[in-house]
Amino acid sequence: MSRTPASSSSLLSSPATRRRSRRSSLVALAATAALALAGLSTAASASDDSSPAGSTTSAAQRPGAKAGKGLTCKQLEKKGKKKAKGVHGKKCQKKGSGTPGTPGTPGTPGTTPTSPPTTPPTTPPTTPPTTPPTTGPTQTVVTDGCLTSVPDPGTTAPVQICYTLFQPAGSSAGAPVPMIMHSHGWGGSRTTDPAAFASYLEHGYGVLSFDQRGFGESGGQAYVENPDVEGHDVLALIDLVAAQPWVQLDGPGDPRMGAIGGSYGGGYQFLAAFESLRLTGKPVFDALAPEITWNDLEESLAPSKVVRVAWATALTAAGAPTDALPSTVLTALAQGLVQNSFPDELVPFFAKNGPQFHTQAGRRLDIPVLLGQGTTDSLFPLEQGFQNFQTALTDDARKNSIFIGYNGGHVLPAVYPQGVSVTSDPCSKQIGGGTFADLARSFFDEKLKGAPRVLTGYGQYHLATPSSTCVTVGSVAANTDRKIADLTTPSVLAGPQVGSLVAEGPITIAGTPSLSAQVTAPGVAGVMDSRTFVGLAVGTSPSTATLVQDNVLPVRETAPVSNDPQEIALPSVAVSVPAGQNLYLVAAPSDTVFTGMGSRVPGLISFTAATVHLPVVPQP
């Protein structure tokens, strides 16, 4: 589908203003229903920084976009006032350099597919000068603008996607530079301060940061990285980048380019890489550095169709200020929370929205990836990152990629069952000598600029433990079996956690464990189901042991079963259990993140003839 070219310097009237005027009462319905069930504040915070050690901001406290005012930049240029302020009170062209900083990131979910495009986007959003300059600017040049992209599904009005483009000092047609693309997390907006990208700008990279559809100054509503919607947006932005005379090209319309961002800002990276692969046979990016993002969005939001209520609530609230989610999604979310299950109506909305959609079609990315995932992330857990590393890349690309697991990400307090609270990134420091952001810059130096290969740890998983040590493994598969005693969960929702001994310390595990057991559970088929929440914990007794990196997964039985043999997923973890402490399998009838999603049937779930399969790290 072709796109209408748009000037890179003109901003139309603010889509955020139009969204505020049509904000639906369904937003309040979804938020109210979620809050009533969750009993949680919507001001749950998640890191809004591409570095795991970055500052945190409330997803519910994101300020709305400014309303448009005044003349457009193009109108001002005609009046000979290039440095005057345009429709959003920003200078049409501004210069500056800054101190090092880190661009923003996090978030997730929702929405509606249409028919896929049959040809790649062809819009050239910007017309290069007739005679390109041979010398570059002496300072960073910052340009704000919007381009025109496809309408929201079911509508006819084109949607404006707004961006900020940073041209580094010294770049020109005679001295072109590689590019870094950046975008924000759910509920966020683009970064407009060049100081935030100083690490890249001062080392000869251009940067483009953009507002994703439904957020910031961009129009439309969020279809949650759908190839048929946001796929057009990102590829149109890359067309714009390729048209800049100071950008290094590997071929016509093919900029030398990497990408950064976390959570929703990681989702667009896989979206653009896979969609360009589907359309042209080649990923448009040359390297990626996504953080705390997803592989399978439905499985992240509702494993076994049991909703992570705390996150569904926070994410719905974060999208409310800009009316980001379509009303059909809000309605389904509200109904699902009331009905104690992930609504079937949402399955088609999420079907295409993640790497799993592409990998199931046989597509793989043959580009290097520095992948960061939070070990304590309770929205996009460690396993989501493992799936991306294992299934989204070719074997050769994986050998040229690095996996970093840090303590952080989308984190909520693990009150019940009790967890740990730790934020650290020992593996980025071990591999690159600094933060994940520092490591990403070094990674791009090697992949985009051809710098000598000095980084180590390629093709391996580097995982932080709760004690802030770094464990490196070549495989995260289970390799050791431990039989455990029978385990029966409490019969009431307020009951204590129970557990069975798995192993005595010292022992180190890093990867994805699982449970084989015969399961017995009550229930009423088609009416009410039985549930419990399981995970690994460390301590001196089952009742007081703390969850390893704060994660559990639900076991859900939708009908009565008796001694039914099952393979049950356990949360992926990395932990060194010291001497004097033990590793337990614990189970509880409810969980903080899944608040309100516990069993609706008074009764017991029993695990007998059980074996835990562990990814044990050999002792040196």
Number of domains in the chain: 2
241 φ, ψ to 5°?
Answer: -60, -45
Split at pLDDT 50, 70, 90, the class of 525 is low
Please return the burial class of 157, using the count of CB atoms within 10 Å of its CB with bins 0-12, 13-18 and 19+.
exposed
Read off the pLDDT of residues 162-189 as tens digits, 9 standing for 90 and up: 999 999 999 999 999 999 999 999 999 9
pLDDT the model gives residue 215:
97
Lowest average pLDDT, out of 75-89, 146-160, 398-412, goes to 75-89
Domain that holds residue 93: 15-472
Same domain (yes/no): 467, 498: no
Report the half-sphere exposure of 140 (CA within 13 A, side-chain side).
27
* pLDDT reading at 145 higher than 50: yes
Q: What's the chain's average pLDDT?
A: 81
Coil/strand/helix, residue 235: helix
* pLDDT reading at 66 higher than 70: no
Of 406-415, 479-488, 514-523, which has the strongest mean pLDDT? 479-488
Same domain (yes/no): 377, 505: no
Of 472, 489, 522, the residue that ends a domain is: 472
Lowest average pLDDT, out of 80-84, 209-213, 549-553, goes to 80-84
Read off the pLDDT of residues 231-272 as tens digits, 9 standing for 90 and up: 999 999 999 999 999 999 999 999 999 999 999 999 999 999
SS3 helix, strand, coil % of the chain, rounded to 5?
25, 25, 50
Q: What is the mean pLDDT of residues 105-124?
A: 36
Of 438, 472, 506, the residue that ends a domain is: 472
Read off the pLDDT of residues 593-615 as tens digits, 9 standing for 90 and up: 888 776 666 567 899 999 999 99
pLDDT the model gives residue 331:
83
C-alpha torsion angle, residues 329, 552, 602, 545 (rounded to 10): -150
Read off the pLDDT of residues 290-307 as tens digits, 9 standing for 90 and up: 999 999 999 999 999 898
Question: Is 100 contained in some domain?
Answer: yes
* pLDDT reading at 472 higher than 50: yes
Same domain (yes/no): 354, 488: no
Lowest average pLDDT, out of 92-96, 195-199, 360-364, 580-584, goes to 92-96
Pairing of strands 402-406, 461-464: parallel
287 φ, ψ to 5°?
Answer: -165, 155
Question: Is 8 contained in some domain?
Answer: no
Helix, strand counts (H, E) of the chain: 15, 27
Same domain (yes/no): 543, 465: no
* pLDDT reading at 559 higher than 90: no
Same domain (yes/no): 210, 287: yes
Read off the pLDDT of residues 6-23 as tens digits, 9 standing for 90 and up: 333 333 334 444 444 334
Lowest average pLDDT, out of 139-148, 280-289, 420-429, 518-527, goes to 518-527
pLDDT the model gives residue 590:
83
Split at pLDDT 50, 70, 90, the class of 71 is very low
Length of the chain: 620
Same domain (yes/no): 309, 382: yes
pLDDT the model gives residue 131:
44
Split at pLDDT 50, 70, 90, the class of 134 is low
Q: Which tokens in the block code for residue 442?
A: 């070094």
String of DSSP letters for 281-337: SS-S-SEEEEES--S-HHHHHSGGG---HHHHHHHHHHHGGGT-S-HHHHHHHHHHH
Split at pLDDT 50, 70, 90, the class of 404 is very high
Percent of the chain whose predicted confidence (pLDDT) is above 70: 76
* pLDDT reading at 100 higher than 80: no
Same domain (yes/no): 149, 228: yes
Question: Is 340 contained in some domain?
Answer: yes
Beta bridge mates, 209: 164, 182
Q: Which tokens in the block code for residue 495?
A: 């009951």
Spatial neighbors of 569 by CB under 8 A, at least 6 apart, are 303, 383, 512, 514, 553
- H/E stretch holding 33 reads helix 25-38
Split at pLDDT 50, 70, 90, the class of 491 is low
Beta bridge mates, 521: 561
pLDDT the model gives residue 492:
65
- H/E stretch holding 567 reads strand 561-569
CA–CA gap between residue 560 and residue 581 (Å, rounded): 36
Q: What is the CATH number of the domain that holds 537?
A: 2.60.120
Q: What is the mean pLDDT of residues 342-349?
A: 88
Question: Is 6 contained in some domain?
Answer: no
Q: Which tokens in the block code for residue 403?
A: 């996996």
64 φ, ψ to 5°?
Answer: -75, 165
Read off the pLDDT of residues 448-468 as tens digits, 9 standing for 90 and up: 999 999 999 999 999 999 999
pLDDT the model gives residue 328:
83
Cis amide bond preceding 506, omega within 30: yes
Split at pLDDT 50, 70, 90, the class of 102 is very low
Question: Is 534 contained in some domain?
Answer: yes
Q: What is the mean pLDDT of residues 62-67?
A: 29
* pLDDT reading at 218 higher than 70: yes
Q: What is the mean pLDDT of residues 61-89?
A: 34
* pLDDT reading at 3 higher than 80: no
User: How far from the centroid of its chain's Cα atoms is residue 97's Cα?
Assistant: 29
Question: Is 9 contained in some domain?
Answer: no
pLDDT the model gives residue 78:
36
- H/E stretch holding 614 reads strand 606-614
Same domain (yes/no): 247, 335: yes
Read off the pLDDT of residues 34-53 as tens digits, 9 standing for 90 and up: 333 333 322 223 333 433 33
- Residues 60 and 319: beta-carbon distance below 8 Å: no
- Residues 480 and 582: beta-carbon distance below 8 Å: no
Split at pLDDT 50, 70, 90, the class of 338 is confident
Q: Which tokens in the block code for residue 367?
A: 């580009």
Q: What is the mean pLDDT of residues 393-399?
A: 98
Coil/strand/helix, residue 32: helix
pLDDT the model gives residue 549:
87
Q: What is the CATH number of the domain that holds 354?
A: 3.40.50.1820
What 3 state SS string does 380-436 have?
Answer: CCHHHHHHHHHHCECHHHHHCCEEEEEECCCCCCCCCCCCCCCCECHHHHHHHCCCH
Same domain (yes/no): 86, 127: yes
Question: Is 7 contained in some domain?
Answer: no
Split at pLDDT 50, 70, 90, the class of 416 is confident
- Residues 586 and 537: beta-carbon distance below 8 Å: yes
CA–CA gap between residue 456 and residue 55 (Å, rounded): 28
Same domain (yes/no): 451, 500: no
Question: Is 347 contained in some domain?
Answer: yes
Same domain (yes/no): 428, 497: no
Percent of the chain whose predicted confidence (pLDDT) is above 90: 61
Q: Which of 312, 261, 255, 310 is nearest to 286 (CA)?
A: 255
Of 447, 472, 497, the residue that ends a domain is: 472
Same domain (yes/no): 138, 209: yes
Measured CA angle at 292 (ends 289, 296), to 5 deg: 105
Coil/strand/helix, residue 68: coil
Q: What is the mean pLDDT of residues 423-429?
A: 97
Q: What is the mean pLDDT of residues 570-594?
A: 94
**Which one-letter amino acid corresponds to residue 44?**
A
